[in-house]
């Protein structure tokens, strides 16, 4: 009976150590979805990947015509702009009328986030890169730097759910999605403490 009472705190400690890392990870896991400003500039991380850089370039150079996630110039997308910016083809904007400063925009701007269409038009990332470099931005093709066109290519591939260029794919493979540093550290500490306690308990029973 006395041995059982002495063993009780041990099992309580074991349960605590097992639940602690899980509680830390779950606390850092799913959070309430905040209201998203779809027109807000993307935040570039301290050590941005090629896709991160491409996302920022897309926002400043492509998003107004191609949509916030590559869906094209849809009625829904234009509806999130301020009312006096929703009609891209009114006089003084991008209608193509003589004397207007803005470059003309076609009535239909197709989506760039559809994989089959992207793969058909641009089988390799080099094809898309060359197309962007020679045609975009429409008002001044070739205006961006070569590495910026490569970054845009990587981001557009990601929008369409396609494999990014080889260098970016290698970088992404080295990441650990879904695990925070604190959560991973908590798991390791819990496992180490568990091993120490089990070892001491086993040695005491010998």
In the chain, beta strands by DSSP E: none
Q: Identify the CA nearest to 169 among candidates 192, 153, 189, 190.
A: 153
Fold of 50-173: Cytochrome Bc1 Complex; Chain D, domain 2 (1.10.760)
Asked whether the whole model's pTM tops 0.85, one would answer: no
pLDDT for position 47: 93
Q: Would you place residue 178 in the very low, low, confident or very high pLDDT band (cuts 50, 70, 90)?
A: very low
pLDDT tens figures, 109-130: 888 888 888 888 888 888 999 9
pLDDT tens figures, 166-177: 544 444 444 434
List the domain boundaries for the chain: 2-24+179-205, 50-173
């Amino acid at each position: 009976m006395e041995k059982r009472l002495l063993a009780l705190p041990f099992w309580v400690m074991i349960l605590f150590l097992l639940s602690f890392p899980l509680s830390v990870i779950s606390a850092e896991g799913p959070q309430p979805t905040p209201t998203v400003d779809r027109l807000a500039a993307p935040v570039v991380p301290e050590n941005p990947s090629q896709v991160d850089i491409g996302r920022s370039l897309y926002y400043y150079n492509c998003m107004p015509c191609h949509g916030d996630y590559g869906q094209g110039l849809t009625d829904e997308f234009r509806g999130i702009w301020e009312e006096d910016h929703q009609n891209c083809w009114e006089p003084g904007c991008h209608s193509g009328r003589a004397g207007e400063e803005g470059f003309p925009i076609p009535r239909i701007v197709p989506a760039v986030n559809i994989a089959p269409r992207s793969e058909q038009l641009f089988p390799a990332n080099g094809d898309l890169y060359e197309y962007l470099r020679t045609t975009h931005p429409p008002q001044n093709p070739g205006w961006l730097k070569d590495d910026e066109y490569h970054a845009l290519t990587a981001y557009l591939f990601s929008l369409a759910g396609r494999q990014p260029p080889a260098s970016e794919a290698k970088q992404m493979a080295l990441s650990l999605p879904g695990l925070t540093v604190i959560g991973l550290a908590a798991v390791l500490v819990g496992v180490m403490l568990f091993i120490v306690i089990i070892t001491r308990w086993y040695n005491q029973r010998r």
